[in-house]
Amino acid sequence: MAIEVKGAARLHEGDLRGVRVLHEESRVRRTVVVCLEREPRRVAREIEVLPTRTFVDRLWAGGLSRLSQGRAFQYSFHSTTKIQSLSIDFDGDGTADLSSDDPSLSLSHAYDAPGLYLPHLRVTDVQGATYDADVPLAVESVATMDALFKSLWTGMNNALVTGDVGGALAFLDLPARARYRPVFEVLGNRMPGLVASYEPIQGVTIRDDVAEYAVNRTIDDERYLFLVYFLRGVDGVWRLDSM
């Protein structure tokens, strides 16, 4: 699922051009366009327009989608002969899940179930020669990943509540530490109240090395949605990057 945010009070066909191209060129099955319209509506079977309030309410009610792990695949083809077609079997069951004559096509897939997979790519050139490649892929349990990200968020906030800025920064990556240290230090004694005002963090998407989560906070009787991002570093460790 893809989510796009627009600042328009009324969407027109031109506003949806990029979304339609995305569906034509990728395996995205559903897109939610969040905007300032007053009522939800569907402009196509796979494209839904939601007012901001409806989007937030559905997100916290768990009505948008369940988490899945997306993987993007890249390949290089070193030959003077042009590519005629390509096909890829994402789950390694022997059946091609995607076939195309466009060598620039984005190759991505959302894995809903954990396990070991052996995606298989076949490239056929204009002379009829075929070239095959396999890559082993381990997909972890979404529940396990979700628990990990929530523990990172909780660990950082617990440290902030006790005034342990150094301990809180340990849950962040290096660039984030530089950005948030002065913020944490200035907020100081206000952190317990701020943390108490957060609603439970909820997952939005998990992809390759990026996970997007969201947390709601009520300010002056208005609910605001804040996005939280986790990045997997070159050392393979997940850390908070922005919030």
Name 94's Cβ contacts closer than 8 Å, sequence gap at least 6. Answer: none
Mean pLDDT to the nearest integer, 139-156: 89
Q: Do 153 and 237 reside in the same domain of the chain?
A: yes
Q: What tokens does 69 get?
A: 């792990």
Domain coverage including residue 89: 69-139
**80, 105, 139 — which closes off a domain?**
139
Q: Do 170 and 234 reside in the same domain of the chain?
A: yes
Q: Do 172 and 211 reside in the same domain of the chain?
A: yes
- Average pLDDT over all residues of the chain: 82
Name 72's Cβ contacts closer than 8 Å, sequence gap at least 6. Answer: 106, 107, 108, 207, 208
Q: What is the pLDDT of residue 61?
A: 53
CB atoms within 10 A of CB 190: 10
**139, 173, 192 — which closes off a domain?**
139
What is the band of 239 on the pLDDT scale with cuts at 50, 70, 90? very high
Q: Do 148 and 238 reside in the same domain of the chain?
A: yes
> Is residue 192 predicted with pLDDT exceeding 90?
yes
CATH number at residue 127: 2.60.40.10
What is the band of 64 on the pLDDT scale with cuts at 50, 70, 90? very low
Q: Do 75 and 135 reside in the same domain of the chain?
A: yes
Q: Do 115 and 174 reside in the same domain of the chain?
A: no
Higher local confidence (pLDDT), 53 or 82: 82
Q: What is the pLDDT of residue 77?
A: 73
Determine the Cα–Cα distance for residues 3 and 13; give it in Å rounded to an integer: 17
Determine the Cα–Cα distance for residues 111 and 115; give it in Å rounded to an integer: 9
For 83-112, the pLDDT digits (tens) are 999 999 988 889 998 888 888 777 777 777
Q: Do 128 and 157 reside in the same domain of the chain?
A: no
CA 41 to each of CA 20, 51, 54: distance values in angstroms, whole numbers, following the listed order: 16, 9, 11
Q: Do 177 and 213 reside in the same domain of the chain?
A: yes
CATH number at residue 176: 3.10.450.50
Q: How many domains does the chain have?
A: 3
Q: Do 118 and 150 reside in the same domain of the chain?
A: no
> Is residue 179 predicted with pLDDT exceeding 60?
yes
For 21-47, the pLDDT digits (tens) are 766 666 556 677 888 888 888 777 678
Q: Do 75 and 54 reside in the same domain of the chain?
A: no
Q: Do 104 and 116 reside in the same domain of the chain?
A: yes
Q: Do 209 and 191 reside in the same domain of the chain?
A: yes
**139, 166, 201 — which closes off a domain?**
139
Total-model pTM:
0.57
| DSSP one-letter string for 131-193 | EEEE--EEE--HHHHHHHHHHHHHHHHHHHHTT-HHHHHTTB-HHHHHHHHHHHHHHGGGHHH
